[in-house]
Structure formats: structure tokens, C-alpha cells
Amino acid sequence: MCGIVAYIGDQKVNDLLLTGLKRLEYRGYDSAGLAVVADDKLHVKKKEGKVDELVEAIETDHQPESTLGIAHTRWATHGNPSDVNAHPHTNAAGDFALVHNGIIENYDVLRKNLEEKGYEFKSETDTEALVHLIDDVRKETDLSLPEAVRQALTQVVGTYGIAVVSANDPDLLIAARKGSPLLLGVGEGENFVASDAAPLVEHTRKVVYLNDGEIATVRRDGFDVKTIGDEELEKEIHELEWDLGQIEKGGYEHFMLKEIMEQPNALEECMRGRLLLEDNTVHLGGLTDVMDELREAERIILVACGTSWHSALVGEYLIEYFTRIPVEVEYASEFRYRHPILHEDDMVIAISQSGETADTLAAVREAQDRGATALGVVNVVGSSIARETDAGVYLHAGPEIGVASTKAFTGQVMVLTLLAMKLSEERGTLSKEKRAECLQAIADLPDKVRRELERDEEIAEMSKVYRYADNFLYLGRGYNFPVALEGALKLKEISYVHAEGYPAAEMKHGPIALVTRFMPVIFIAMKDSTYDKVKSNIEEVIARDGSVIAITDADNHELDDMCEYVMRVPETMEFLLPLLTVVPLQLLSYHMAVLRGCDVDQPRNLAKSVTVE
């Protein structure tokens, strides 16, 4: 969703901000803009569309150079994507400019009051209400701009990550956060503000994470942070783990393909120091302090959104099978509003790639408020969910830039697999011999994924046959039911092809009515405990003239004559199948999207990190 990058220092700011915006493109957006301070004036440029259009406008209009500025990519919430609604927004006198992520929920009340006082609104955004509110507070109280911003924020209901610059103070950048992530990048004689680390890594590794309700006054030679309630704070400086290579395409045409291909290494990183074959054990350092509680948990509730919710479903199967602890999986967005029943011995585990998804973060807070312990399975180090949960496990998958999640999904499933192994050891629900067999199978996975990825060409060829199909059905059972959901989600997200995922047996309760030879049906038909049933479902589709693609074991040729295409994956133990069966589905959706001319990494309307509810 919306992205912020802001700079104060001695570098030329236009290029720096535009490069920063490019690094934020992956978050999803529909317009972009920037404001720089030069010759005691604000120079604002805003454009609907891609950052490239802003770049062009800046070149054509000879935007003045500066060493102070704020920039923004907007994902429309209030008001359609347009030049006027794009950020930054300025006050009527044009002496300060503001960029905003989040939603000002009481903007209509604020707007009405401000209009009564004579303020004229140019845009349809909620953000403009905040700009005029700051202006109003400043006029009424004669406070400095940072103080007026702070006071105005006490009147705001909703979420914000903001950056503000003033035409009257060339050594001032203000940043504040509530609910929308924001961090400071700390340099030598220069400082940055950004909504995530992507625009910062090429400049500095040192960052300060702002917490909710904090405001920073940033200057070239330092920064002060206080609470919105005016309490001075000492902030810790953290070291970023990302490096520049990780957020660049590295020779691949798209981030998504790069990230699919990175999966074997990402899985190895995830297991490193955790899967200890020689000791026949799993070590999850981040959970040491809560392991007693976890072992005794009455119930585990997994909360997540999107792809992370699919990995939670795999987690449910894994944890219940291996540990016999009851597991529930909840959409984070539903969990919070249905007054969930929670007990002290419930463990809530939030699963999130970004660690910033608003609903998942809210679910963590809800769980904690109701007395449960909340854990995080998160990829982005230092993200809000990582910081607010009581303990957790990082994926160590590296930055995921493509909007469609791929290596984070397999990373999450791997963490949940390791957790199931660890808990089964703690609870004595798995024999030592069986555990050794399982751990060895886990260790063998990255090479199996490598082998699968070698079949990329084959899948690319197959995609050509299906590129014009407008509807797909994905079916799987057991551990592969969540994979069917994930396969369908991948296709619809990036190819805009309608796709449904279903448990294979449920097909007869609805989707079978849709079956024609024009709707490819993808069966995940591995030779596991559900194979015979799934094979019958395949027969049922074929009997209705359906067109079937199957994913099955490398040496299973039973389906060859029945199906139009067979995608083969290496064998593994049943509980690990999702980590292998999802890979051809990721590749299929990738190639379909490329063939259909879609914007693979930044699909329309979608955001990488959904920071509003």
C-alpha cells in the first residue's frame, strides 16, 4: 500500500526520492508525488499512474534541486486515483506539505469543522483534513510546526504514518506514526524517513523503528523522538539485515520469478541452526522462553491473511497431526470483530510475511488484550508484528518484493513444520525413530525443490496451451487442500484469471456444475493417503468432458492417459508435500501472467503490505 520516503541531508534530493519511490513500487500504488524545499518555497509535483510518469513530469518541468524533500506512492482509499488526490498535500498558504499512509477515520467530522472555519478542500482525500487541521492548530495556538503537528494528531482517530516538510525551515523533517509503519534511516549528516527499509538500504543500515503514537523531529545532524502525549523518548538504533542485491532483480525479468527460484536457498536459510539432524532435534531459539507454555497449550489459534492464511491451514494439519493440540485457523480480519473466546492457556500465532498487515496486527493486540500469549511467524525483521508479539520465529527468506507471495509461503510452511516437529518432541507424541525420518525428509527438501525448478521450461510451454482460459478450478485434499487454495489465489492475483480452490471432494457440492472442456481443472493428486479418492474425482471430471491437469509423483504414470497434462514433483513424506506441490503452481501462474501481458510484480489494485483494515 502507500509508501513514504523522505530525506534531509546534503545529497540532491529529486533523484534520491524518485529512486526511493521506485523501491517502494512493490507495495502497490496508483499515483505518486513529491515535495522539495528550495529557495524558501515548496515545489510539489504529483502524478496519477506510475513513478515513471512522475519522473517524466519532473524532468519536463525542471523541478528545482534541493536537499530536503518528502515523497509518496498512494494506494487510493478516499477519492479515486488522480493528480489532485495524490500526495503530498499542502496547506492553503503553501508553506508546509504532508504525505500520509493510513486512514483518518474521523476525517468527515474534521472536514466539516474546518470547512465551517473557511478551509477549502481541493482533494477528496482524508489526508487533506489533517493538513488543514495542522494549519488550524498552528494558527490558533501559535505553536511551532512540530508542536502543531503533534497537537493535531491528538485529535485524529484512525491510522497514520506521516512525513511533513516546511518551506520556512530547511533543516526540519517531521515524522509520526500510529498504525502505519514508519522508520528513520540514520546517516552521517543526513537522515531518512521511510515506510519500510527498501528505500533505505542503499544509504544506511542504521534504523530506528517508530512505535505507535510517536513523533520524530528530524534534522541533518540528528533527531528527537517523543510521544504524541509529549514525553521525550530514547530510541534504540537497529541494524538492517537486508542488502541491496536482495531487493534488485538480479538478472531475472521479474521479482516473482527470482523469488520462486530463491526458494531452495530460502528454505535452507530457514532451517539453518534450527534443524539439528545429528541431535535428532529442532531448535527454535525465538520460542525458548515460551516453550513450556506452548507445550501445555490448550489450543493454538493461527491468524493470518491472504497467502499467509493458506500456510496457516497447512500449519493446522501439521500441528494437530504431530502434536494433538487442537488448532484453529482464523482470518485475522474476522477474528478481531467476533469477540473471540480466548483463555490464558491459548496461544495465538500470527503469520505474516510483512509483519505489517493491519488486520493481523490488530488480531495480535486483541489476543494480548484478552490475556493470550501472541507469537509471530514473520519474515520482515523489526516489523510491527515481530516487535509486538511475545516471541516468535523469523522466516529468514530475505525480502519478498513481488506482490504475489511465493518464497514467504514456503518459508512459513517450513517454520510451521519445524514448530510441529519441536512440539511433538516436547510432548512426546512422535517416536525418536519417526522423528529422525521426518527431520531427514525435511533436510532433503531444498534439493527436491531445486529439481522441480529445473522443469520451469516445461511449465512455461504448458502455460501457452491454457493462456486464454478464463476460469480454472484447483482441487486437492488433506495437506494439499490449502495448496489448491494457494494455487488459485496465485493465478487470480497476477493473471486476473478467475480461479477457485476447493477440497477435491467438495467438488460434487457445487463446482462440478461449472465443469466443461473450457475450464481446466487442476488436481493435486499425489500418491498419499487421499490418492484413490482424488483419482475418483478426476474420473468424475473426465466423465463430464472436463479438461484435467494433474500434479503427481515423479514415477506415477497412472494418470498419463487420463489427463491433458501431468506435472511431476519428487516424492517426499506426506506432511511435506505442500512445499513441493505449490512450486509448479507458482510457475504456472507466473507464466500465465507473462503470456497474458500482465504486470506480474505489481498486479492491479493489489498491495504487498495491506496496512489499512
Active site positions, annotated: 2, 608
Give the separation between CA 343 and CA 323, rounded to whole angstroms. Answer: 19
Q: Which is nearer to ligand G6P, 266 or 504 (CB)?
A: 266
Query: Which residue in 85, 357, 373, 581 binds ligand G6P (CB under 6 A)?
Result: 357
Query: Which residue in 360, 417, 463, 552 binds ligand G6P (CB under 6 A)?
Result: 360
CA angle at 360 for the pair 354 and 361, rounded to the nearest 5°: 85
Q: How far is the CB of 103 from ligand G6P (least distance, A)?
A: 17
CA within 13 Å, CB half, 23: 27
Torsion sign, CA atoms 385, 390, 394, 395: negative
Q: Is 73 in the site for ligand G6P (CB under 6 A)?
A: no
Give the separation between CA 255 and CA 397, rounded to whole angstroms. Answer: 14
Q: Which is nearer to ligand G6P, 205 or 492 (CB)?
A: 492
Q: How far is the CB of 398 from ligand G6P (least distance, A)?
A: 14
Give the separation between CA 252 and CA 32, rounded to whole angstroms. Answer: 26
Q: What is the DSSP string of 350-385?
A: EEESSS--HHHHHHHHHHHHTT-EEEEEESSTT-HH
Query: Which residue in 73, 101, 333, 354 binds ligand G6P (CB under 6 A)?
Result: 354
* Enclosing H/E stretch for 260: helix 255-261
Instruction: List the grid coordinates of 588.
Output: 504456472
Q: What is the three-class DSSP state of 515?
A: coil
Give the separation between CA 127 and CA 124, rounded to whole angstroms. Answer: 9
Query: Which residue in 353, 389, 586, 602 binds ligand G6P (CB under 6 A)?
Result: 353
Residue nearest ligand G6P by beta-carbon distance: 306
Give the separation between CA 205 and CA 187, rounded to whole angstroms. Answer: 9
Q: How far is the CB of 411 from ligand G6P (least distance, A)?
A: 11
Q: Is 180 in the site for ligand G6P (CB under 6 A)?
A: no
Site for ligand G6P, residues 303 to 342, rule: CB under 6 A: 305-308
Give the separation between CA 174 and CA 157, rounded to whole angstroms. Answer: 19
Q: How far is the CB of 218 from ligand G6P (least distance, A)?
A: 27
Q: How far is the CB of 357 from ligand G6P (least distance, A)?
A: 3
Interface size with ligand G6P, residues (CB under 6 A): 16
Q: What is the three-class DSSP state of 440?
A: helix
Q: How far is the CB of 262 from ligand G6P (least distance, A)?
A: 16
Q: Is 2 in the site for ligand G6P (CB under 6 A)?
A: no
Site string for ligand G6P, 263-302 (x = CB under 6 A): ----------------------------------------
Q: Which is nearer to ligand G6P, 103 or 305 (CB)?
A: 305
Q: Which is nearer to ligand G6P, 152 or 348 (CB)?
A: 348
Q: Which is nearer to ligand G6P, 95 or 601 (CB)?
A: 601
Instruction: Tell me how far CA of residue 317 lies from CA of 502, 577, 578, in angstroms.
Output: 16, 12, 11
Site for ligand G6P, residues 584 to 613, rule: CB under 6 A: 606, 608-610
Give the separation between CA 192 and CA 216, rounded to whole angstroms. Answer: 11
Q: Is 57 in the site for ligand G6P (CB under 6 A)?
A: no
Q: Is 383 in the site for ligand G6P (CB under 6 A)?
A: no
Site for ligand G6P, residues 388 to 447, rule: CB under 6 A: 403-405
Contact 496, 604 (CB under 8 A): yes
The residues of the shown chain that bind ligand G6P, judged by CB under 6 A, are 305-308, 352-354, 357, 360, 403-405, 606, 608-610
